[in-house]
Structure 1
Amino acid sequence: MTKKFQLLATMASGLETLTRNELTDLGYEVTTDNGKVFFEGNYSDIARTNLWLRTADRIKIVFGQFKALSFEELFDQTYDLPWENILPMDAEFPVSGKSIKSKLYSVPNVQAIVKKAIVKRLQDTYKRRGQLPETGALYPIEVAIRNDQVQLTIDTTGDSLFKRGYRISKGAAPLKENMAAALILLTNWSKEKPFVDPMCGSGTLAIEAALIGMNVAPGLNREFVSEHWTFSDENTWNDERQRAEEQIDYDIELNIAASDIDPHMIEIAKQNAMEAGCYDQIRFKQMNVADFRTSDEDGVLVTNPPYGDRLLTEEEAHQLYKVMGIAFAPLDSWSKYILTSDLTFESFYGQRATKKRKLYNGRIRTDYFQYWARPKRFK
């Protein structure tokens, strides 16, 4: 399908620059807003970006934007949009919604009006009386109102992009896959450098590093809701998947290590890595972080240790940070990146971070403490 859409990639707050860079690298011109990156594309672009974006949550079609101060205005302007260009008569189209600082503040009423307007439009277009069947493919619609400005979008992704399809098992507080990829992309790591996660849990950080190093499209092994749309051309998805397959570097040898104190978590991490197709790229080991040693130099350490409101008590977390500070102190040539919600982390770790970045791990406010490698001194 060659028709151009205004498309929208959504992501966690603080990751806009990363998603923007990903889209720019794929060749798109973009504009950025809080938690959003806009770009244009056709159906092939919908497939390509769903397959390739590592840090985004969803790809949506922006189907309509207008101002509405009354339910009548909301109904009429929603009705005026050409919904039949995308929705077949039997489309299943649930409507979700949100409203912020707007006259139309009742979200259930807003959703109901939008649904009613779309139903009326399709009934008139398809010359059908009575209830629409909604037995066909799923077209999730969202109405978002902010400061009386309405935005109507159609989700092309389905399950969030963080669901790569490889995590067959996980621990008690897993890091989302797209957040793990973002943490890696915020470092100075490249595929030529050593990479380690000494508290790997279910292995997400190490696996995402391996997928980046091998140039594996993160969405390659999952399905997307828009694959089943009536105007979807099966060849489009097959072609994009084939192109992605051809770009994988199966011959590369990466230096990636992952360890954890819990042997059960190491087994889970191994299973996930096998499912992701990168098991041979990662060295897994059951080990206490206090015993962490490496002879490698100029590497990158990224880890997401358990923190007080996650798995450990506050006292236990603080003791762990002290152990980390001692274990990581000899790594002068390494850059170290540590994610935690404990803003007092530095005082227990024993060193002030070179830089801190505020991020959100789900709904938890966290800081990304960055310790950059010390420059080498030449005699």
Structure 2
Amino acid sequence: MGKVTLIATAAMGIEAIVADEVRSLGYEDCVVENGKVIFEADELAICRANLWLRTADRVKLKVGEFKATTFDELFERTKRLDWARYIPVNAEFPVIGKSVKSTLFSVSDCQSIVKKAVVESLKNTYKGTTWFEENGPFYRIEIAMLNDVATLTIDTSGVALHKRGYRTEQGEAPLKETLAAALVRLSRWTADRPFIDPVCGSGTIAIEAALIGQNIAPGFNRDFASENWDWIGQNNWDKARVEVEDLAKYDQPLQIMGSDIDHRMVNIANDNAFEAGLGDLITFKQMQVKDITTRDEYGVIIGNPPYGERLGEEKEVEEIYKDMGKVFEKLPTWSVYMLTSHPDFEKLYGKQATKKRKLFNGFIRTDYYQYWGPKPPRV
């Protein structure tokens, strides 16, 4: 097959973290753009990227990119691409689409034209085939129009990468696993330091920290659409999964605690941790923020507290922020990281953040408030 171009899609604000992850897999030559990281690699990279990328949403295979301002142009240029290089004669290949700031603004028309063009292109290769049954492996094609440039991709992931497979249940406002992993990554926490999430909800941040701490690939427990693609080959998938096992540090001790005021959420967090195979490594407790105490030093606290956006919740939330300020002040060697959309967080917490980073939790614009503690002494 040779080289392929891959696109790891990402939420706004965490593209640089995804790029770091891509480079850490050995794919140094990557380009960072809004919402995506583009890199050249081989078939094995499709397996490795899907298994290892903690903060990316999907891994897409780029088939082609060109300017198109008329439907004729879109049809002809799409038809010219070598679809048979990837798509077998029996493949199921639905087309999805989106269009932003483009002359071809009708998404349904773009989808329909791309579908027809792909069919015509495949007919040219698979001579004698007049009808495609579409009863084989799944290849979801996407036509993305942006400023009159059409980008055509095939999704290699299937279900989005944040679906790790361990969430048995979740709360009302769950944090995506990919964003939770990004929060841990941004804190530069390492497995030898204690870790607390004081508002743990369904346990996602603590679980992602444990996966990072033991270097367990986030995709170890799930399947991907491209596992059924013959041209990638079972050998590459087997090789990538063996690497996942070889690199995991199951013996790495961890000191991770999550607490929440709601005993129901504590039970859910426990169930989720056991589902992820990490139940013995994380301690979940029912506790108010103001009751948190520890004798440990140089730890990291990461939380995604309620934002006070629901009616009648604001006063309660503001009290939590004030409690955090008072409690964490007594932990001078600890670093604190909080994600919230509340505009007065620093005022309520009682201290200005060392650094703020703009991130999106779904469609909510939030700030990640970072209070850096002193570096732990070298052992």
Quote the residue 2:79 is aligned against: 79
Q: Where does 1:345-360 land on structure 2 (aligned, <5 Å)?
A: 345-360=345-360
* Per-residue deviation, residues 33-54 of structure 1 (Å, max 9, x unmatched): 1111111112111000100011
Residue in 2 aligned with 1:108?
108
Q: How far is 1:148 from its partner? A: 1.3
Quick check: 2:339–2:366 contact (8 Å CA) kept in 1?
yes
Partner of 1:302: 302
What are the superposed Cα offsets for residues 48-67 of structure 1, whole Å, 9 maximum, x if unpaired?
01000111011111100111
Contact 2:156/2:226 (8 A) holds in 1: yes
Q: Secondary structure at the match of 1:46?
A: helix
Displacement of 1:243: 1.2
Does the 8 Å contact 1:306/1:312 carry over to 2? no
* 3-state SS of 2:369 partner: strand
Q: What SS class does the counterpart of residue 302 from structure 1 fall into? A: strand
User: Residue 58 of structure 1 aligns with which residue?
Assistant: 58
Q: Which runs of 4+ in 1 moved over 6 A?
A: none
For each residue in 1:204-226, what CA deviation from the matched residue of structure 2 results, as whole angstroms up to 9, or x when unmatched? Answer: 11111111110101101100001
The residue number in structure 2 matching 1:13 is 12
CA deviation after TM superposition for structure 1 residue 304, in Å: 0.6
> Which residue matches 1:195?
195
Change (3 A) 1:297 1:311: farther
For the aligned residue pairs, the C-alpha RMSD in angstroms reads: 1.7
Deviation at residue 371 of structure 1 after TM alignment = 0.9
Letter in structure 2 aligned against 1:261: I
| Corresponding residue number in structure 1 for 2:363 | 363
* 2:21 equivalent in structure 1: 22
| More displaced 10-residue stretch of structure 1: 126-135 or 85-94 | 126-135
Residue deviations 1:295-325, cap 9 Å, x none? 1111100001112226972222212211222
Contact 2:298 2:375 in 1 (8 A): no
- Match for residue 269 of structure 2? 269
Q: For residue 114 of structure 2, what is the amino acid of its counterpart?
A: V
Q: Distance in 2 between matches of 1:375 and 1:130?
A: 67
| Cross-structure match for 2:152 | 152
Query: 2:170 is aligned with what amino acid?
Result: K
Alpha-carbon distance, 1:266 to partner = 1.1
What residue identity is the alignment partner of 2:109?
A: N
Against the structure 1 CA distance between its residues 311 and 332, is the aligned structure 2 distance closer, same or farther, given a 3 Å change threshold? Answer: farther
- Relative distance call for 1:77 and 1:365 in structure 2 (3 A) is same
Query: Which structure 2 residues correspond to residues 1-379 of structure 1 after superposition, within 5 A?
Result: 2-28=1-27, 29-128=29-128, 130-309=130-309, 313-373=313-373
Deviation of 1:124 after TM superposition, in Å, equals: 3.0
Aligned equivalents of 1:146, 1:205: Cα separation in 2: 34
TM-score, normalised on structure 1? Answer: 0.96
Distance 1:104 1:85 in 2: 27
CA distance in 2, matches of 1:204, 1:102: 38
Q: Aligned partners of 1:32 and 1:310: how far apart in 2?
A: 36
SS, match of residue 280 in structure 2: helix
User: Partner amino acid for 2:367?
Assistant: D
Instruction: For 1:335 and 1:126, locate their aligned partners in 2 and report how far apart those are by CA, in whole Å.
Output: 60
Q: Which residue identity does 1:149 align to in structure 2?
A: V
Task: Tell me: CA distance 1:246–1:375, structure 2 relative to 1, closer, same or farther (3 Å).
Answer: closer
Rate the CA distance shift 1:312–1:32 in 2: closer, same or farther, 3 A: farther
Contact preservation (8 Å) 2:298, 2:374: no
Q: Secondary structure at the match of 1:280?
A: coil
Task: Give 1:363's aligned amino acid.
Answer: F
TM-superposed CA distance for 1:232, in Å, is: 3.5
Using the alignment, how far apart are the partners of 1:82 and 1:47 within structure 2?
22
- Equivalent-residue separation in structure 2 for 1:49 and 1:129 (angstroms): 34
CA contact (8 A) 2:18 2:56 kept: yes
Distance 1:275 1:238 in 2: 23
Residues 173 and 310, structure 1, Cα contact 8 Å, conserved in 2: no
Q: Which runs of 5+ in 1 are unaligned?
A: none
Contact 2:44 2:232 in 1 (8 A): no
CA distance in 2, matches of 1:247, 1:357: 31
Aligned residues: 376
Distance 1:189 1:4, change over 3 A: same
Counterparts in 2 of 1:57 and 1:243: CA distance versus 1, 3 Å: same
Measured after TM superposition, the shift of residue 188 of structure 1 is 2.9
Q: CA deviation at 1:129?
A: 5.5
Following the alignment from structure 2 to structure 1, what is the Cα–Cα distance between the partners of residues 16 and 210?
22
Offset of 1:159 from its aligned partner? Answer: 0.9
Residues 54-108 of structure 1: CA distance to partner in whole angstroms, max 9, x if unpaired?
A: 1101111110011112111110010001111111122111111111222211111
| Residues 222 and 72 (structure 1), Cα distance of their counterparts in 2 relative to 1, 3 Å cut | same
CA positional deviation for 1:179: 0.5
Contact 1:7–1:62 (CA under 8 A) maintained in structure 2: yes
Gaps of 5+ in 2: none
| 1:242-297 Cα deviation digits (max 9, x unpaired) | 11111111111111111111111111111111111112221221111110111111
Residue 230 (structure 1) shift: 3.1
Change (3 A) 1:312 1:301: farther
Percent identity, please: 53
Q: After alignment, is 343-352 or 227-236 more displaced?
A: 227-236
Alignment check: 8 A CA contact 1:188 1:300 kept: no
Counterpart of 1:186 in 2: which secondary structure? helix
